[in-house]
Amino acid sequence: MYTEKEFKKVGTHDGRFHADEVIATAILKEIFEVELTRTRNEDILSKIDIVYDVGGGELDHHGNNKVYREDGTPYAACGLIWNKFGKEVIKFKDPKLDENEVESVFSYIDRNFIEGVDALDNGIWIDKTDIPLVHMSSIISGFNPLWNSDKDENEAFNEAVEFSGAILRNTLNQRFSVLKSKEQVVRAFKKRKNPQLLVLDRYCPYSEALREADEKREVLFVIYPRKDSYAMQSVRGENSQDKKKLPKEWAGLRDEELASVTGVSDAVFCHTGRFIAVAQSLEGIMKLAELAVNYKEDEESKPKGIFELIKNMFKKTK
């Protein structure tokens, strides 16, 4: 395990840069003090400690002997670097994690941050959607000097690395926070007075821990404090849909209008999507939550499945 940053000479290719070698460099900078050389000169590369995305070695994915993940996605430079050094990065950032937690973070980062970059760099067009998608690869590509610019290429590369490093650290820290929230979520789960309501002492990323704890899938809403108010939010089920919506009569209402409809004097807001509502006090949000749990939506107003719609059409034509 790395306890302090060791010095390493690292090297990748020069010329137009891409997300894979940029992110690979950002990963290395998390555990090493690096001296970076960008070149295709094999004599220079042969004297460098870690060479990636060039030179034909184990960290260059451009040959015929590509390395593939279990799901079939080939590795590019950032994936190969993460595969080799990622667990050490995680241990360096948070030495208190156990091996299972390290493995969990390692797999999460690979799947949610690295694999998409690797796929695109290997020509797998995962970014083709009806709505144009801004992603890491396209953003980093934009750091390259423009055709009519005199900006230094290495300076632009370093800027892209700093940007990527910030995103990597944010993603790691967010994942660490999920792991550290589990104890708080489980404690709140065990203290429930109403099985359908989870009340948190402070907001934390609760979804993953709640799915693990709530084996009977009882919890419908999560309540938590905000800076100057309290919120309740619907829990999503296995189909990624809200297990229960807030009452349709609340949708889009604010302040006096929402207070009038609910009878909760300090009600503040209900989203038009009916998945979150806010009140000024804990007492107020608990009243809203109890109303939402007991709310029975009119069956006629619920969205119908395709077969139900067809059946109703035939009824109307008789």
Whether the CB-CB separation of 73 and 80 falls below 8 Å is answered with no
Provide the pairing of β-strand 6-12 with 32-38.
Answer: parallel
Identify each DSSP E strand in the chain by its residue range. 6-12, 32-38, 50-51, 197-199, 221-225, 230-234, 267-270, 276-279
Q: Looking at the predicted structure, is the pLDDT value of residue 101 above 50?
A: yes
pLDDT value for 300:
44
Q: Mean pLDDT throughout 93-121?
A: 96
Residue 181 tokens, joined? 């929230």
pLDDT value for 297:
78
Residue 12 tokens, joined? 């990748």
User: Is the pTM above the cut of 0.85?
Assistant: no
Instruction: Tell me the pLDDT tens digit for each residue of 284-302.
Output: 999 999 999 999 977 444 5
Residue the block writes with tokens 């430079």: 77
Q: Mean pLDDT throughout 116-133?
A: 87
Q: Looking at the predicted structure, is the pLDDT value of residue 311 above 90?
A: no
Lowest mean pLDDT among 157-161, 268-272, 311-315: 311-315
Residues of the chain with CATH 3.10.310: 192-301
Q: Quickly count: other Cβ atoms within 10 Å of residue 247's Cβ.
A: 19
Residue 20 tokens, joined? 């894979």
Q: Looking at the predicted structure, is the pLDDT value of residue 316 above 60?
A: no
Residue 84 tokens, joined? 């080799």
Q: Mean pLDDT throughout 61-69?
A: 88
| 317 or 115, which is more confident | 115
pLDDT value for 312:
56
Q: Looking at the predicted structure, is the pLDDT value of residue 134 above 90?
A: no
pLDDT value for 308:
55
CATH number of 192-301: 3.10.310
Calculate ∠ Cα 268-272-275, nearest 5°. 80
Q: Looking at the predicted structure, is the pLDDT value of residue 303 above 70?
A: no
Q: Looking at the predicted structure, is the pLDDT value of residue 159 above 90?
A: yes
Q: Mean pLDDT throughout 268-275?
A: 97
pLDDT value for 80:
97
Helix, strand, or coil here: 230? strand
Helix, strand, or coil here: 276? strand
d(CA 90, CA 104): 10
Instruction: Tell me the pLDDT tens digit for each residue of 247-267.
Output: 999 999 999 999 999 999 999
Instruction: Tell me the pLDDT tens digit for each residue of 212-238.
Output: 999 999 999 999 999 999 999 999 998
Q: Looking at the predicted structure, is the pLDDT value of residue 163 above 60?
A: yes
